[in-house]
Structure 1
């Protein structure tokens, strides 16, 4: 969406400082001029972007993962996903991540949408795909990557979302999108 229609809402960067420069993300602290002329501070992560894939078997079941996520210290049920490498096409990332994490190769990979999961403090965007025509090969997990692959009926996933058992935003969006798409 263009900011040409909303100039009265724009904030302008006065100065930007990189306060953390990590392997996955960077953290910036910017001084900004607000629409009313006052100044404020904005801190946010700079993320390279990612893909997430909802793999659907021919029988309609979803291929999901159970993975421990350290920031929240628990195991989550989620769709396969991964970071886009510098210069890599998101579609190529989707195919790579699907094989690495689940062992499946997709005959068809359809783009669903782009999501920005945490717009208040991150530049992260996730390209969502649906994978179909799956053939199982051997998983190629990254070094020190641990996850279980599970097959889940769509209705079961929706039930877990409604019950608050699945809270991963990319998984929820993909499941709800497919509920509408396949309706």
Structure 2
């Protein structure tokens, strides 16, 4: 046990939903005292930087009820039980954008909010995009507008707070850094 580790003494399941569950853990702190931790459990997700042959980024505009506003985001979705992230990324790309890809590469994985949630997002880059004739459809409760933007347009969307979520901001800044390194 590291000097910072918190030992779980008990877990109380508060809520189990379609996407997340909430539990409250009583923990023993490194100093021997106890405290409570509210934890959201999430099955994990994927996000895809989908690049067209003309270097545009395929994004979706989607209403986010938790924020009561519409955001522009890279395609993303929740892992199904037992599903491999790469398989999920290909599926979500097709469902949300209608594109299939010739190549999909894992870029990185990151926790979205480790202070209270265990959601791990696996980020992929998809290239060699082709629009499918009979693409998989969105979930019945999912509605998106498809847009394709240049890196400059994506940076402007960030500036105007249309791109305002961490995974998409991370993706845009990754592309910006990649472009900057090319010019050196």
Q: TM-score range by the shorter chain?
A: over 0.9
Asked whether the 8 Å contact 1:102–1:139 carries over to 2, the reply is no
Tell me the TM-score normalized by structure 2: 0.93
Q: Give 1:55-94 correspondences, 5 Å limit.
A: 55-94=50-89
Q: Which residue matches 1:97?
A: 92
Q: Pick from 13, 17, 27 the counterpart of residue 22 of structure 2.
A: 27
After superposition, the C-alpha distances for 1:12-41 in whole angstroms (9 at most, x for unaligned) are: 100011110111111010000001110000
Instruction: Report the alpha carbon displacement of residue 163 of structure 1 after superposing the two structures with TM.
Output: 4.1
List structure 1 segments (4+ residues) > 4 angstroms apart after TM superposition. none
* Aligned mates of 2:79, 2:48 — CA distance in 1: 13
| Count of equivalent residues | 178
* Aligned mates of 1:165, 1:143 — CA distance in 2: 24
Q: What is the aligned-residue RMSD (CA, Å)? A: 1.2
Evaluate the alpha carbon distance shift between residue 139 and residue 150 of structure 1 in structure 2; reply closer, same or farther with a 3 A threshold.
farther
Q: Which residue matches 1:51?
A: 46
After superposition, the C-alpha distances for 1:133-182 in whole angstroms (9 at most, x for unaligned) are: 00001351111211000011111112322443321100011111122234
Stretches of structure 1 that go unaligned for 5 or more consecutive residues are none
Tell me the TM-score normalized by structure 1: 0.93
